[in-house]
């Protein structure tokens, strides 16, 4: 794989943002349903954490599309789909991350339509996809560092 000047510091910064948001969301996911859903501050904080997490992941994906594929995705979801099509990340993972990008759009543009129960379920069941994304990104970063240092 060719590494056209990946901005490794920027990628690391975004991975840190993702990890911090993951930790926050996992804390809320441990609460029972009604405790979480009745706490408006917790619900809003979880929504914000999802936005930060997904934005950071999309930022990394866009950077990879530009630097590794020399492509500009037309949608946020497409950033992940292109990486999956090109074998940079697992194609099935790319599909699931594309759905998260769509969820981000709902959070940002249509707060009234967000199903907080569904969001809580996603906090409990889907965050492993983001962790898998981080693992795949970390491998690429390590390869780029080896190439740059070797």
Which of 14, 125, 147 is closest to 79 using CA atoms? 14
Model pTM score: 0.91
* Domains of the chain and any CATH numbers: 8-145 (1.20.120.580)
Per-residue pLDDT of the chain (150 residues; tens, 9 = 90+): 565 688 999 999 999 999 999 999 999 999 999 999 999 999 999 999 999 999 999 999 999 999 999 999 999 999 999 999 999 999 999 999 999 998 888 888 875 688 899 999 999 999 999 999 999 999 988 888 887 776
User: Do residues 3 and 68 touch, judged by C-beta distance below 8 A?
Assistant: yes
Q: CA 145, CA 139: separation in Å to the nearest integer?
A: 10
Which DSSP string do the residues of 82-136 spell out, in sequence order?
Answer: HHHHTTSS-HHHHHHHHHHHHHHHHHHH-GGG--HHHHHHHHHHTHHHHHHHHHH
């Amino acid at each position: 794989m060719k590494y056209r000047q990946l901005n490794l510091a920027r990628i690391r910064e975004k991975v840190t943002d993702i990890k911090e948001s993951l930790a926050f969301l996992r804390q809320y996911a441990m609460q029972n349903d009604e405790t979480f859903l009745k706490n408006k501050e917790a619900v809003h904080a979880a929504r914000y954490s999802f936005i930060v997490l997904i934005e950071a992941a999309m930022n990394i994906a866009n950077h990879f599309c530009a630097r590794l594929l020399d492509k500009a995705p037309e949608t946020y979801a497409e950033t992940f789909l292109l990486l999956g099509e090109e074998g940079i990340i697992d194609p099935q993972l790319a599909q699931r991350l594309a759905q998260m990008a769509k969820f981000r759009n709902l959070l940002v543009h249509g707060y009234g339509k967000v199903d907080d129960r569904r969001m809580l379920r996603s906090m409990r069941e889907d965050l492993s996809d983001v962790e898998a994304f981080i693992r795949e990104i970390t491998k690429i970063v390590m390869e780029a560092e080896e190439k740059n240092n070797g």
